[in-house]
Amino acid sequence: MTGLNEARPVVNTCVAIMLEIAAVNPHASFGFIGAATATEPEANTKRFRFYKRLMATYFSKAEFRHFGDVEKSTYILIRHEELKAHPTLINDIEEGFKATFDYFD
């Protein structure tokens, strides 16, 4: 889509930005949708599977709780400390996704 015909530089830039934000903001959490291509269903997309592997590689399960929704190809990373401080945070984020994207109706 960028004309590069290679997704890795774009994805690596996104991961680098996420890591930088995580380093300076101890409250930062992240979420994304692994959008489906024109020829695949919305569940368990190839982008979702690829991004999921990257998140497991770059974001420690000791620091972040990893939530993946295979049916909607969504992934959320929340710091354990934030979940302790805000036990309903995952539900609040899911409600935010639903309010923002028709995709989640």
Give the tens place of pLDDT for each residue, 63-80: 999 999 999 999 999 999
Residue 7 and residue 71: Cα distance in Å, rounded? 23
Residue 10 and residue 4: Cα distance in Å, rounded? 9
Average pLDDT for 22-29 = 95
Average pLDDT, the chain: 90
Residue 18 placed within a domain: yes
Residue 48 and residue 37: Cα distance in Å, rounded? 11
Kindly indicate the confidence band of residue 101, based on its pLDDT and cuts at 50, 70 and 90.
confident
Confidence (pTM):
0.83
pLDDT of residue 96: 87
- Burial class of 41 by CB neighbour count within 10 A (0 to 12, 13 to 18, 19+): exposed
pLDDT of residue 11: 85
Average pLDDT for 55-64 = 93
DSSP-assigned beta bridge partners for residue 66: 77
Residue 28 placed within a domain: yes
Residue 22 and residue 92: Cα distance in Å, rounded? 20
DSSP for 16-34 reads HHHHHHHHH-TT--EEEE-
Residue 3 placed within a domain: no
Residue 64 placed within a domain: yes
Residue 2 placed within a domain: no
Residue 54 placed within a domain: yes
Range(s) of the domain holding residue 29: 8-104
pLDDT of residue 2: 61
